[in-house]
Amino acid sequence: MATERNSAVQEETKPIIYIVDDDESVLKAMQRLIRSMNMEVKTFALGQEFLDSGFRDKNACLIADIKMPVMGGMEIQKKLLAQGSKLPVIFITAFDSKNLRSQAKEAGAAGYFQKPVDGQALLDLIQWALSNQEIS
């Protein structure tokens, strides 16, 4: 019984990383990478699916593709902010531009990566975002 409780508490405190991207290969690759660091991962092909998922703000982070059909990463972040969420958001994009980088920075992004994403740099930024979230 105590082992079950400890396991449940461990699951609640385990970091969870949400990934929203319309490219299934990106979702699978990032999912493998993040699971290798013993973090929970939930993936979504659509922004609205993520917003409707009952996500948590604590000990969590969102990685979102900037350009997707219907709702891109910046729109997702605007909706999060409107809800009062403090979930850190890392943007990824295959369509890098100075303008997009500037918009991401102004939106308060925890980070920004051009695809293909450097796996170690992404893991480092996730760790930073999670630890920074705990401080604030």
Structural domains of the chain, with CATH: 14-135 (3.40.50.2300)
Task: Give Cα 25 to chain centroid, integer Å.
Answer: 16
pTM (two decimals): 0.89
Task: Give Cα 99 to chain centroid, integer Å.
Answer: 21
Percent of the chain with pLDDT over 90: 84
Mean residue pLDDT of the chain comes to 90
16, pLDDT greater than 70: yes
E strand or H helix that includes residue 90: strand 89-93
So what's the pLDDT on residue 134? 58
Say if CB 86 and CB 102 are below 8 A apart: no
77-102 burial: b if 16+ Cβ within 10 Å, else e: beebeeeebebbbbbbbeeeeeebee
Mean pLDDT on 48-63:
96
Mean pLDDT on 118-135:
90
